[in-house]
Amino acid sequence: MIADQLPAWQIVIPMLAAPLCVLVRNSTAAWVVAMVANLLTLLNAWALFVQIRAEGVIRYALGGWAAPTGIEYYVDIANASVILLVSFISSVVMVFAFHSVRKTVLTGKHYLFYSAWMLCLTGLLGICITGDAFNVFVFLEISSLSTYMLIAFGQDKRAFTASFRYLIMGSIGASFILIGIGFLYAATGTLNMVDLAQRIPDAESKRAVLVAFSFLTIGLMIKSAVFPLHGWLANAYQQAPLVVTAFLAGTATKVSLYVLLRFFFSIFGPDYSFGAMLLNVVLLPAAVAGFLLMSLVAIYQTDLRRMLAYSSVAQIGYIIAAFCIASQAGLTAGIVHIFNHALIKSALFMSVGCIIYQVGHAHSRSFDNLFSTMPFTVSAFIISGLGLIGVPLTVGFVSKFSLIGASMEKGWWLIGAMVLVSSLFAIVYIGRVVEVMLFRKSRMETPHSVGSNEAPLMMLVPLYVLVAVSIWFGISGSTTLDVAGQAARALLGGYQ
């Protein structure tokens, strides 16, 4: 009964929570509603994941309308794991949000904040779960619009301009995706992904498919912030409330990357995307330039949030580079890094959130000897930072090891070497901050403004949950690698 309807519940729960948050009005009550909905979503995602692993692909006809007419939800191991990841990150950050929102978001608007969050979650989950190309666009816009709102909740007035710039870029990206889907429909006469995958080989020679492919590529590159189309990301991550950044860093770009995978591998198929269309000629230089340049740029940032934002663009470069390898090993490495990076980056942003909560700013040069006042937060930052660098026993090592292994298997030695070089940049930008936090003696003219003790427990616990998970999967990396490997097989194998 309920087990049959899991794919629908996945969307319905957060979607219902959104208006409910508005109705209750009270800040704490809205948080409780959002939290409960989030936990239910997570539970549902876990059940779905277990079900997929036991029974294989689920094709769920929404409202009972069968595939070509109605909208179909298509769940396999690839999107089930992304759904699980998104729900998990959202739940953890939601716990973290309670205190942080009270302090940083305008009083009286909290219920709107949580409502927008729930809508955003709905959108992100919907993008993953749907099997209908146009539906992807709709959910994409749901998540994007609520994201613009969430970013505009930032404390500084620059949040508004950051949000507006993201809105312009995001709308262009989404419109490009819409155009692409339109051309695909014109060429094949269907919007269902499974049908599309079947019909595209016959329509490959049509110019409409080529145009669709180009528009989709650019649109998805904007949405997932692939260098050089990443301009919106740094401002948005810096100006948004830290909870939002922590949430988005682990989910939004990751979901876009998943859509990219779905379109390039399942729908167009790797032979078309990377064979006929030479996608790697376009994407690989962008990816490599992205992770090298952006790691370099990150070194020179004085604002911790901006530094981490540029590092995110660099990490997306790794993921794209892994996709370009377009082999089983490459795709596995890319998917595993989507997962691992989401954990690390959310944890990093959450620890920055704790710091901002207590210190009031994020200028990395003035965290003199922060370790003595906030040892737990700083330790979490250091551990996650080591993960970002890719030190053994952290998740970062698992991803980098498999990425380099995959590129060597393909014979792309240079790519492997460049990944290592950019890891060295990561040592520099993380190391600089850590050095200040640990060893620089406090100078008297910059006393820590507010309280100089630890953040509340409700912020530290979720932070450490993420850190613990990232260490767990760093030590037993084969768990995630297995799932990623199955997902890669599912994507490479096309629809059954």
Q: Does 423 bind another protein (CB under 8 A)?
A: yes
In the complex, the smallest distance separating the C-beta of residue 99 from another protein, rounded to whole angstroms, is 25
Taking the alpha carbons at both ends of the chain, their separation in whole angstroms is 25
Q: Does 292 bind another protein (CB under 8 A)?
A: no
Q: Does 204 bind another protein (CB under 8 A)?
A: no
Residue 128's closest CA among 462, 496, 487, 492? 487
Segment interacting with another protein, rule: CB under 8 A, options 9-17, 91-99, 183-191, 278-286: 183-191
Q: Does 141 bind another protein (CB under 8 A)?
A: yes
Report the residue number, 46 or 472, with the smaller CB distance to another protein.
472
Give CA torsion, residues 180, 183, 187, 191, to 10 deg: 60
Q: Does 113 bind another protein (CB under 8 A)?
A: no
Judge contact between 86 and 247, C-beta under 8 A.
no
Residue 159's closest CA among 244, 220, 74, 276? 244
Among 185, 206, 452, 492, binds another protein (CB under 8 A): 185
Segment interacting with another protein, rule: CB under 8 A, options 36-44, 51-59, 161-169, 269-277: 161-169
In the complex, the smallest distance separating the C-beta of residue 393 from another protein, rounded to whole angstroms, is 6
Judge contact between 260 and 224, C-beta under 8 A.
yes
Among 131, 219, 390, 396, binds another protein (CB under 8 A): 390
Residue 113's closest CA among 97, 128, 96? 97
Among 1, 441, 444, 447, binds another protein (CB under 8 A): 441
Residue count at the site for another protein (CB under 8 A)? 57
Which string of x and - marks every residue 45-74 that binds another protein (by CB under 8 A)? ------------------------------
Alpha-carbon distances, residue 410 vs 26, 73, 286, 330, 414 (angstroms): 56, 34, 19, 9, 11
Q: Does 472 bind another protein (CB under 8 A)?
A: no
The Cα–Cα gap between 350 and 389 comes to: 18
Among 36, 67, 109, 134, binds another protein (CB under 8 A): 134
Tokens describing residue 352: 């920055």
Q: Does 296 bind another protein (CB under 8 A)?
A: no
What are the helix (H) ranges across 189-303? 193-203, 207-223, 231-239, 242-261, 270, 279-299
CB count within 10 Å of CB 102 equals: 14
Residue 151's closest CA among 266, 240, 31? 240
Q: Does 468 bind another protein (CB under 8 A)?
A: no
What letter represents residue 176's amino acid?
A: F
Q: Does 83 bind another protein (CB under 8 A)?
A: no
Residues that bind another protein (CB under 8 A): 134, 137-138, 141, 145, 148-149, 152, 157-158, 160-161, 163-164, 167-168, 171-172, 175, 178-179, 182, 185-186, 191, 386, 389-393, 398, 401-402, 404-405, 408-409, 416-417, 420-421, 423-424, 427-428, 431, 435, 438-441, 475-478, 481
